[in-house]
Each structure stands twice: as C-alpha cells, then as structure tokens.
Amino acid sequence: MAATIKDVARLAGVSQSSVSRALAAPDQVRAATRERVERAVAQLGYEPNRIARGLSTGRTGTIGFLVPDIANPLFAGIVKAAQRRARDFGLAVLLADSDEDPATEIDLIRTLTKQVDGFVLCAPRAGDDELRSVCGDLPVVLLNRRVGQLPSIIFDNADGIRQALAHLAALGHRRVAYVAGPRTSWVNRERLRAVRSGAAGLGLEVVEAGNVSPDFEGGVAVADLVLAAAVTSVIAYNDMIGLGLVSRFGARGVTVPGDVSIIGFDDIPASALVSPALTTVSQPKDQCGRAGIDLLADLLNDRERPGSSRASLPTRLIVRASTGPAPKL
C-alpha cells in the first residue's frame, strides 16, 4: 500500500493539515516543520493521491482532448505536441476520437465532462450552440474553429488560401476549382469563403466542386467533375483529396502539373513522398497543440491572458511539384 498523508503526519509528528500545507503552501508553515515533513515524505516516498485530492478540490489534473480523427496526421501531430506540453503542467490528457461524427463529438464531451478540469476541443462538426452548451462552464479551448467569444486557436486559413491563389495567379492560371470538404466543417466553410473573396482581386475565376469526403476516395470521385469544369488549377480542401485527384488524373492521362496544377492543405507526410509531390498549405501543428495547452492551463489558473485567448497561427504555402505554369491554350 502506498503511504498516505496520515503516515507522513505520524512519522513527522505533526498533523495532517500541516503536512498538506507544507506541500501545497510551504510559506505558511514554519521552516522547521516543513523540513520534518519533507524528510518524512522522502522517507516514505509519499505522493498525494490524486483522486482524493480531486474529491476535495474538485480538480482532477486531467484535461479532455477531442479530435475528429487521430489517424489523420494533422491531428496526430497536434495531439503529440499537446501531450508533451501537458506533461510540463502535470496535466494528464484524456483522448477522445469522435470519428468525424457530430453526435459522437457531443456525446464524448458529455461523458468526459465530469472527469476533467477542462477541454481542448477540435470538434469541427458539432453545432455551435450545442457545443457551447455541452461544455457547461468548464474552461474550453477550441482548436481550428471559432465559436462566439470562446477562447480558440485557429490556423490562418484565409491567408493560406491567399498564398495558394497568389501562387496560381502568378503562374498564369485564370480558372481555379475549389474542391470542398464536408459541408458541416467550419474549416471548410472558412476556406471556401477565403477562396471566394480572394479570387476576384487576382483575376481568378472560381469553380466550386461539390462537397466530398475528405479522403483519397473523395478526391478520386470528384476528379472527373473537376476535369469537366475545364479549369487549369485546383485547390483541394485537404491533401488526401488532392492526392486522390492526382491519382485519378494520372489514370485519365491528365498530367500534373502540365495540364492541371493541384494544391492541397495540411502537408501530410504522404504529400512529400508521392510524385509529383503535392504543393500544399502547411499548418504549424506543434505550435497549435502547445498553444492549446498553454491557453487552457492559463484558463485553469484563472490567469486569463486577454490578448492571446484567440490566436491565429500562420500558415505557409509549400511549393512542390504539383503546381506549374498554366498550360497555353
């Protein structure tokens, strides 16, 4: 059996309260007492029981981290960075994977809500109101999404799209297709908006291709439609769709970037490995995961940093082999 605070108190010849204070608020305790406690703690290898502490303080030292799909390298990267950072704060991370399903998102939050101190939520599908209400008054940091005034960290999607459009325009493209991802996705709407508003100024004509599932098959499925639209360039909601496009184009004898240029989003590992390697908008996953935890930790300590509770992280266009000059007509 592990040593309890009573054992420490007995060994040190002081009361439980003193032990508790010596550990939690060392300056409220006389130096002599503190030392006796410290010695006893060391001797017994005492560590406070987190559960018991949680019961009286109402804090568990655990946070919930929700992602739509941990198998997606973007989220895996974010989680990895977040979990490393959480360690620094002594926070444990409860992982929840919603499988891209809105109902599951809500469900998971609801069940976890009673065992965590706060949430970092990457919940692109759930409705705004539902999301807001289900968290109750727990501290929450949203990732990759804005809902009202809730603290959140997003990637600068608009700027990423702007870079992509500018890149295409500079290569002489006049018509660009945007292949939309899930209709319910906040990020998708954001990117779509950015495409619409950014294209005009660059003299680009936009064709919108229907909402497809954000995976390889989605890209394959929409490829022929894109081709029929007679565009010379495509911006895909994400890399997987982009890779699907590349693949189907190849099968159809359409060369990339000779006939059509393609830009993805996310910079997943595969994008650098395929040929032609995919030009893509990269997002600072590590920074996102870290910042999410930092922000939540601040919230947990009532230390609201007013400025930084709504960060927007810079995105960067990575030019690879899937984009080139527009074909001469």
The verdict on 45 binding DNA (CB under 7 A) reads no
55 binds a second copy (CB under 8 A): yes
Nearer to DNA, 23 or 66 (CB): 23
Q: Which of 188, 172, 187 is nearest to 261 (CA)?
A: 172
- Name the residue nearer to a second copy (CB basis): 92 or 254: 92
Amino acid at 233: S
The least distance separating DNA from the CB of residue 111, rounded to whole angstroms, comes to: 15
Q: Could you tell me how many residues make up the chain?
A: 329
Task: Give the Cα separation of 182 and 189 in Å (integer).
Answer: 9
Q: Which of 43, 49, 255, 275 binds DNA (CB under 7 A)?
A: 49
Strands 279-282 and 316-318: antiparallel
Give yes or no for residue 297 binding a second copy (CB under 8 A).
no
State yes or no: residue 275 binds a second copy (CB under 8 A).
yes
* Range 5-34, binding DNA (CB under 7 A): 5-6, 13-21, 23-24, 27-30, 32-33
Output 90 or 203, the one with its CB closest to a second copy. Answer: 90
Q: Which residues pair with 48 in a beta bridge?
A: none
Question: What is the C-alpha to C-alpha distance for residues 190 and 179, in angstroms, rounded to an integer?
Answer: 13
x/- track of binding to a second copy for residues 233-262 (CB under 8 A): ----------x---x---------------
**Residue 149 binding partner per list DNA, a second copy, none, with a CB distance cut-off of 5 to 8 Å that depends on partner kind:** none
Between 92 and 229, whose beta carbon lies closer to a second copy? 92
87 to 126, contacts with a second copy by CB under 8 A? 87, 92-97, 99, 108, 112, 114-115
The dihedral formed by the CA atoms of 189, 304, 114 and 286, expressed in degrees to the nearest 10: 50
Q: How far is the CB of 169 from a second copy (least distance, A)?
A: 28
29 binds, options a second copy, DNA, none, Cβ within 5 to 8 A by partner type: DNA
C-alpha–C-alpha distance, residues 313 and 181, integer Å: 21
Decide if 131 contacts 288 (C-beta within 8 A). Answer: no
In the bound state with a second copy, the residue whose beta carbon lies nearer, of 269 and 307, is 269
Round to whole Å and give the CA distance between 286 and 252: 38
**CB neighbour list of residue 248: distance below 8 Å, 6 or more residues apart:** 219, 220, 223, 224
C-beta of residue 264 within 8 angstroms of C-beta of residue 279 = yes
18 binds, among DNA, a second copy, none (CB under 5 to 8 A by kind): DNA
Residues 288-327 that bind DNA (CB under 7 A): none
Q: Binding partner of residue 6 among a second copy, DNA, none, CB under 5 to 8 Å per kind? A: DNA
* Omega before 325 within 30 of 0, i.e. cis: no
**Site for DNA contains 90 (CB under 7 A):** no
List residues near DNA by CB under 7 A. Answer: 1-6, 13-21, 23-24, 27-30, 32-33, 46-49, 52-53, 55-57
* Interface residue list for a second copy (CB under 8 A): 2, 47, 49-52, 54-55, 60-62, 65, 69-71, 73, 76-77, 79-80, 83-84, 87, 92-97, 99, 108, 112, 114-115, 216, 243, 247, 269-270, 273-275
